[in-house]
Amino acid sequence: MNCKLVNLYNEGVGEVNLNPSIFSVNRESGKLILHDIVKWQLSKRRSGTHKTKGISDISGTTAKPYKQKRTGRARQGSLRSPQFRGGAVIFGPVVRDHAYSLNKKIRKLGFKIALSLKYSNGKLIILDNIHLNSSKTSEMKKCIDSFKFPSCSTLLIVADYDKSISLACSNLPRIDIIKPVGINVLDLLNHDYIILTVDVLSYLETRLL
């Protein structure tokens, strides 16, 4: 399957062959797979540092407040119990890791489905290279404006870029630039358009096939 190859100014410079095993994957359960992967990624992001004090964390006396019987009141064993002011919290959150494992085959399939969705919707653009003559933001903005994107977010995936590219993109709103090693399903879905260079295609084939 062929795809138009353009330069930074959206001028056609030829065609590039895309692997259909990556960019043409259609599955009826694709939405469910993407949902599972997004949940898995968001769970890994959670810090898990929320915590409440249990009865062993409360400082206070360990003595029985009053005798067990013949007081006319309910029996009590500790003033650190949750029914008393300043007492513990029962079954409250504790520090823990929210991450869980997900099958590698499912992760690869979700990756392919996300890329296939972008390609089928015409929101995947292949660049020949990303070399700028200057590191000015205005120059990079001129290049992005040539694609005539609507007001939406764009993810730029470049295998190897220097500091000038990073500086040129840093002040542009809704433009993110990452290296191929950082590609993930959540970023692909969170951005409306995906722009990647030709050398990223070989990395994707190595990673997903």
CATH at 156? 3.40.1370.10
Over residues 159-170, the mean pLDDT reads 86
Taking the C-alpha atoms of residue 209 and residue 205, their distance in angstroms, rounded to an integer, is: 5
Same domain membership, residue 134 and residue 186: yes
Residues 74 and 107 in one domain: no
- Is residue 106 predicted with pLDDT exceeding 80? yes
Residue 49 clears pLDDT 90, i.e. is over it: yes
The predicted model scores a pTM of 0.86
Mean pLDDT of the chain: 93
d(CA 11, CA 52): 59
**Pairwise pLDDT comparison (99 vs 132), residue with the higher score:** 99
* Neighbouring-strand partners of residue 99: none
Given a cut of 80, whether residue 35 has pLDDT beyond it is yes
Would the pLDDT of 162 be above 90? no
Range of the domain at 161: 2-46+100-208
Query: What pLDDT, on the 0 to 100 scale, is given for residue 109?
Result: 95
Note whether 41 and 52 are same-domain residues: no
| Angle subtended by helix axes 104-120 and 30-45, to nearest 10 | 120
What's the distance, CA 194 to chain centroid? 15
Which amino acid does the sequence have at 7? N
At residue 182, the pLDDT reads: 93
Q: Are residues 14 and 88 in the same domain?
A: no
Q: What percent of the chain has pLDDT over 90?
A: 80
